[in-house]
């Protein structure tokens, strides 16, 4: 199952570059840095969703998972109905969101430490010297921060 989103992301990234930050079992968090003059993040998201849906719909779009709203509107169970978007305001806002994205696998109980989640840009940030390897081990700094959830 994990190969479907990775393939979809790789396909669209080859023609419409961006950076993606964390892929979790049931959702993804992305902080996209697009090329100068290219603000078409919607196209990237549509292509990812379409490709993943084509590969996974029969396994993940389950009638028993349908709630009343999804049934009434004929919505899939594969994708969250609303996408939360946020325009980064400044460097501090950027850093808060990077921390939150890297911390998200810990928040959802998939791992005990940020460094234990393999599907995250955290490892790239550490390798490039942008973050210390111990970063993300103290999540108290994220308590009370608002991330649009």
Both tokens assigned to 82 = 């609303």
- 146 and 104 part of one domain: yes
Inter-residue contact 121 to 19 (CB < 8 Å): yes
Q: How many domains does the chain have?
A: 2
Task: Please list the active-site residues.
Answer: 119
Return the pLDDT at 64: 67
Looking at 63, 85, 107, the residue that finishes a domain is 85
- The answer on 137 and 80 residing in a single domain is no
pLDDT > 70 fraction of the chain, expressed in percent and rounded: 72
Measured distance CA(143)–CA(147) in Å, rounded: 11
Is 122 buried (19+), middle (13-18) or exposed (0-12) by CB count in 10 A?
buried
Residues 6+ apart with CB under 8 A from 5: 23, 28, 48, 52
Residue 36: CATH number of its domain: 3.30.70.1290
Overall pTM > 0.85: no
* pLDDT at position 142 over 70: no
Domain that holds residue 129: 86-149
Same domain, 36 and 95: no
């Amino acid at each position: 199952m994990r190969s479907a989103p990775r393939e979809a992301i790789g396909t669209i990234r080859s023609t419409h570059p961006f950076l993606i930050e964390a892929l979790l079992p049931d959702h993804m968090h992305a902080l996209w840095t697009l090329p100068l003059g290219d603000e078409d993040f919607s196209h990237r998201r549509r292509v990812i969703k379409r490709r993943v849906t084509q590969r996974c719909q029969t396994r993940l779009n389950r009638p028993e998972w349908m709630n009343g709203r999804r049934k009434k509107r004929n919505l899939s169970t594969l994708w969250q109905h609303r996408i939360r978007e946020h325009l980064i305001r400044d460097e501090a806002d950027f850093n808060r969101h990077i921390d939150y994205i890297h911390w998200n696998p810990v928040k959802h109980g998939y791992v005990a430490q940020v460094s234990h989640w393999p599907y995250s840009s955290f490892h790239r940030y550490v390798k490039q010297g942008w973050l210390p390897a111990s970063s993300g081990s103290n999540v108290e700094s994220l308590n009370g921060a608002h991330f649009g959830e």
